[in-house]
Homo-oligomer: A and B are copies of this chain.
Amino acid sequence: MVKNSLMKTSTPEPRQRDADRSQLGILVAARDEFAEHGLAGARVDRIAERAGLNKRLIYYYFGSKDELFLAVLENVYADIRAAEKELHLLDMPPPEAIRKLTEFTWNYYLEHPEFLTLLNSANLHQARHLERSKRVREMNSPLIQTLGDILERGRKDGILRGGIDPVQLYISIAGLAYFYLSNNHTLSAIFGRDLMTRKAHNERVSHMCDVILGYVLRD
C-alpha cells in the first residue's frame, strides 16, 4: 500500500473523526482492490475486508461500486497533480524543468503502479466515470498551463524550439513511461528480457530524457 493524501486525516472535530477514518479506509482499500483486479474484477466483499469494515458502510458512504470507483479515481488524480505542483517547475530553467517533469513522471508511475492500473480500468470503461467529474478537469488544467508557460519561456530564450503543443508533449512524456511500466509483464514475456531490474529502469529513464530533450531543445 502506498502512502499518499488518502492517509492524511486533516484532524476534524472529534465526532466526525471515526466517520472520516472509515471513509478513508474504504477509499484506500478500494484503490488497492481496483488496482489489482480492475473494476469488474474487484469485489466489494474484499474491499470491506481490506478496510476491516462492514460492507454495508461502503454503500452508506459511496452509494455503489461505480461511485466508489469514481471517488478513487478522483483521489489518485488529486495525488499526482499535487505531487507535480510540489516540483515548482516554474522556478527552473525550461530544459531543466522538462527533464525534471520527465524524471518525475517516470518515478511517480514506478512508485505508484496502482495509478497505471486504475487509469487502464478507467479507459476500458471509456472514461465514463471521469466525464461526470468536473473536479478532475479543474485539477488537471493547471499542469498544461504550467507546461505551456515553460515552453513559451524556453522559446523566447531561444533554448527550446517553437511550435510545441504542451498537450502533445505531456502525452508523449507520459506515454514513454506508461507503456514501459504498464505493459512490463507482457513486454518481458514477449521479448524474453526482464524490464524491471534497477539497471533496466535506469536505462529507460535515461532513454526517455534523451528522446524528450532531443525533441524540445533547439538544434
Interface residues of chain A, those whose CB is within 8 Å of chain B, are 37-41, 77, 117, 119-124, 126-128, 130-131, 133, 136-137, 140-141, 144, 165, 167-168, 171-172, 174-180, 182-193, 203-204, 207-208, 210-212, 214-215, 219
A191 touches B144 (CB 8 A): yes
Give the copy number: 4
21 contacts between A and B (CB under 8 A): A39-B41, A77-B190, A117-B123, A117-B124, A120-B124, A120-B182, A122-B186, A123-B183, A127-B189, A131-B189, A136-B189, A137-B189, A140-B191, A141-B191, A167-B193, A168-B204, A171-B179, A172-B179, A172-B208, A176-B176, A211-B212
Main DSSP-derived SS at the A contact region: helix
B203 touches A168 (CB 8 A): yes
B40 touches A137 (CB 8 A): no
**Nearest B residue to A132 by beta-carbon distance?**
B189
**Nearest B residue to A126 by beta-carbon distance?**
B185
B40 touches A168 (CB 8 A): no
A168-B204, A192-B141 known; A124 and B215 CB under 8 Å?
no
Within the assembled complex, what's the spacing in Å between the Cα atoms of A215 and B210?
7
A127, A179, A211: most-surrounded residue (chain B CB, <10 A): A179
